[in-house]
């Protein structure tokens, strides 16, 4: 059985048990369900490092941005004694934009970490019309998600959970719901050549449908499995499989090159390829690239993500450790 087929079978079994709660669309985990989920902003990739890797991040998640991808990554901070706060801004297509703030702090036990995050999105001002088709000013839809997370380390295994409050506003109507995210990361579970391998898995946006006005739509559930190969101290390669409620299964891959300098600083170059983003688009869509500078107490990351004729998006994330 292929990896994609195995992922889909597992998710279909999960969907069957939760369908009665409105957790999934009628034809989940296929392109037939495209456009049938609500709170679509939850699918926006968050964090420039992850975006430069084309979303291939489930086994690499670390720091406060783990809240958005795999809460288990927070446990990698356990014992560090330092908090991490990150700020991200995404200039999306046309006038659409998104921003994110995340915070994480290790607990005194040396084994656990807590975190919180805010994700917001707006497509910008949209023209409004009355029932006769006459212009009637503009309105600005706003989406946001507030999350709290907890993660703990158990030897080589990291596990985490996050709870999210979700709200969407559209043309005078609004809706709220909640969701849970779960994740695990197993570090250095085996060797490949001269390097070790980490494995990761996350379930995101598992919760009841959101109703905006009289319309109820299921959340964009996502299951992600992947691996991180530490090829050598300077090079890492990543491969993930994605299973989403409103898309066919697809893979993504990425690579990261690290050049240390000074006592605790490093520069990084990244690349990635995401099959889903290439579907139906031409040019360089599907590719991603970027880099970062980590000065121990401060880091900044940038990602360049093209979408063919639709344009190119730019993502920037900064973070402080203290």
| DSSP code at position 111 | S
Helix (H, G, I), strand (E, B) or coil at 13: helix
Task: Quote the CA–CA distance of 58 and 228 in Å, as a whole number.
Answer: 9
* Residue 259 located in a structural domain: yes
Tokens of 81: 């004694």
Given a cut of 80, is residue 213 above it in pLDDT?
Answer: no
pLDDT per residue over 42-100, tens digit each? 998 899 999 999 999 999 999 999 999 999 999 999 989 999 999 998 877 777 888 99
- 223 to 111, 134, 136, 209, 230: CA distances (angstroms): 26, 44, 41, 17, 23
Residue 255 pLDDT: 98
What are the DSSP calls for 17-74, one per residue? Answer: HHGGGT-S-SS-SSGGGTT--S-GGGGS---HHHHHTTT--TTT--STTHHHH-GGGG
Q: Is 171 part of any domain? A: yes
55: tokens are 């979303």
The pLDDT score that the predictor gives to residue 290 is 98
Tabulate helix, strand, coil % of the chain (nearest 5): 15, 55, 30
Query: Is the pLDDT at 35 greater than 90, yes or no?
Result: no
Q: What is the mean pLDDT of residues 304-308?
A: 86
Question: Which pLDDT score is estimated for 20?
Answer: 45
Instruction: State which of 26-30, 197-201, 304-308 shows the largest mean pLDDT.
Output: 197-201
Q: What's the pLDDT tens digit per position in 123-172?
A: 876 777 777 777 777 777 889 999 999 999 999 999 999 999 999 987 77
Whether 214 shows a pLDDT value over 80: the answer reads no
The C-alpha atoms of residue 278 and residue 262 are separated, in whole angstroms, by 39
Task: Please say whether the beta carbons of 249 and 8 come within 8 A.
Answer: yes
User: 215-229: per-residue pLDDT in tens?
Assistant: 789 999 999 999 999
Express each pLDDT in 235-291 by its tens digit: 999 999 999 999 999 999 999 999 999 888 999 999 999 998 877 666 678 899 999
In-domain check, residue 305: yes
pTM of the model: 0.87
Beta bridge mates, 238:
228, 254
91: Cβ contacts below 8 Å, ≥ 6 apart: 97, 313, 314, 315
Q: Is residue 133 part of a domain?
A: no
List the Cα angle 61/65/67 in 5-degree steps. Answer: 85
Asked if residue 284 is part of any domain, the answer here is: yes
Q: Are 306 and 297 in contact (CB under 8 A)?
A: no
Residue 92, in any domain of the structure: yes
Give residue 16's pLDDT: 52
Q: Report which DSSP code applies to 15.
A: H
Instruction: Grade residue 212 by pLDDT with cuts at 50, 70 and 90.
Output: confident
Residue-level pLDDT at 281: 67
Q: Specify the pLDDT at position 31.
A: 83
Predicted confidence at residue 311, as pLDDT, reads 78
The CATH number that applies at residue 87 is 2.40.160.40
Range of the domain at 122: 3-128+138-321
Q: Which of residues 28 and 232 earns the better pLDDT score? A: 232
Number of domains observed in the structure of the chain: 1
3-state secondary structure of 1: coil
Contact 206, 243 (CB under 8 A): no
Q: How deeply is 213 buried, as exposed, middle or buried, from its count of CB atoms within 10 A (0-12, 13-18, 19+)?
A: exposed
Per-residue confidence (pLDDT) for residue 61, from 0 to 100: 98
Q: What is the DSSP letter of 234?
A: T
């Amino acid at each position: 059985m292929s990896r994609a087929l195995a992922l889909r079978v597992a998710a279909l079994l999960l969907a069957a048990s939760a369908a009665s709660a409105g957790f999934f669309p009628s034809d989940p985990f296929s392109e037939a369900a495209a456009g049938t989920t609500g709170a679509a902003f939850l699918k926006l990739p968050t964090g420039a490092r992850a975006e430069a890797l084309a979303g291939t991040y489930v086994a690499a998640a670390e720091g406060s941005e783990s809240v958005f991808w795999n809460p288990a990554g927070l446990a990698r901070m356990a014992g560090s004694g330092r908090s991490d706060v990150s700020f991200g801004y995404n200039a999306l297509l046309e006038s659409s934009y998104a921003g994110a703030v995340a915070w994480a702090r290790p607990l005194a036990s040396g084994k656990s970490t807590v975190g919180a995050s805010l994700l917001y999105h707006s497509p910008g001002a949209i023209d409004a019309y009355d029932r006769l088709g006459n212009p009637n000013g503009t309105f600005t839809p706003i989406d946001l998600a507030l999350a709290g997370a907890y993660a703990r380390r158990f030897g080589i295994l990291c596990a985490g959970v996050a709870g999210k409050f979700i709200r969407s506003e559209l043309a005078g109507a609004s809706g709220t719901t909640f969701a849970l995210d779960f994740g695990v990361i197993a570090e250095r579970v085996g060797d490949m050549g001269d390097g070790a391998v980490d494995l990761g898995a996350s379930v995101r946006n598992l919760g009841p449908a959101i109703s905006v006005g009289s319309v109820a739509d299921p959340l964009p559930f996502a299951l992600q499995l992947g691996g991180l190969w530490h090829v050598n101290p300077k090079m890492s390669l990543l491969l993930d499989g994605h299973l989403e409620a409103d898309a066919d299964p697809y893979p993504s891959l990425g690579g990261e090159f690290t050049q240390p300098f000074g006592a605790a600083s490093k520069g990084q170059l990244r690349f990635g390829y995401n099959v889903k983003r290439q579907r139906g688009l031409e040019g360089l869509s599907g590719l991603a690239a970027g880099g970062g500078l980590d000065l121990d107490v401060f880091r900044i990351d940038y990602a360049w993500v093209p979408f063919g004729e639709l344009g190119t998006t730019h993502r920037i994330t900064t973070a402080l450790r203290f």
